[in-house]
């Protein structure tokens, strides 16, 4: 874990280091903590309604690599979700390992958020995902989501999964 900084970043580090994770998962925890970077400088808050440019800037910050090659999509999506929630560039991720070795989302959630995030039910199409996101936005004003795609085929690698973010952007002056 790379850190530079002030008291607020130290609080985040303490919280992350204090997570009680099963000993069977110690290698996974080490990989996650080795890949995490925590920004300590006071950062300007992003606006409540993010623009596409804000989101692109946040995503660039989260992917803390020169060349992205590892299977850390779970960690990248969790870092972005965390940063969106706090409206600051706080967490980012370096490469972790081979592109075929992913991270367990439950462990990543426990380390970053302190608990596993609530999961939705299985959705079978991008249209269903979009409808679910817009419903949650309309009802609870949730605007940031982590989507887990499972059981799809990648040539050479085979069956795998991938986590990515979905964010509701409200740009009233643009269509």
pLDDT of 144-157, one tens digit each? 888 887 776 767 76
Q: 9-18, 35-44, 101-110: which has the minimum mean pLDDT?
A: 9-18
Give the pLDDT confidence score for residue 81 in this predicted structure: 94
Question: What confidence tier does 2 reach under pLDDT thresholds 50, 70, 90?
Answer: very low
Interval 47-99: pLDDT, tens: 988 899 999 999 999 988 877 666 788 899 999 999 999 999 999 998 876 66
Which residue stretches of the chain are H helix? 7-17, 26-35, 52-62, 73-86, 105-113, 126-140
57, 125, 154 from 150: Cα distances, Å: 27, 12, 11
Q: What is the pTM of this model?
A: 0.80
Q: Is-contact 135 145, C-beta < 8 A?
A: no
Rounded CA gap, 61 and 10, in Å? 20
């Amino acid at each position: 874990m790379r850190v530079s900084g002030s008291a607020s970043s130290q609080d985040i580090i303490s919280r992350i280091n204090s997570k009680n994770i099963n000993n069977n998962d110690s290698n996974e925890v080490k990989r996650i903590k080795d890949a995490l970077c925590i920004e300590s400088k006071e950062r300007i808050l992003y606006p409540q309604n993010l623009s596409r440019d804000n989101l692109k800037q946040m995503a660039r910050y989260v992917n803390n690599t020169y060349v992205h090659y590892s299977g850390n999509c779970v960690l990248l999506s969790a870092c972005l979700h965390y940063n969106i929630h706090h409206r600051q560039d706080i967490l980012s991720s370096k490469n972790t390992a081979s592109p075929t070795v992913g991270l367990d989302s439950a462990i990543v959630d426990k380390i970053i958020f302190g608990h596993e995030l609530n999961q939705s039910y299985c959705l079978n199409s991008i249209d269903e995902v979009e409808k679910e996101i817009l419903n949650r936005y309309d009802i609870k004003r949730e605007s940031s989501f982590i989507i887990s795609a499972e059981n799809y085929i990648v040539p050479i690698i085979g069956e795998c999964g991938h986590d990515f973010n979905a964010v509701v952007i409200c740009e009233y002056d643009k269509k």
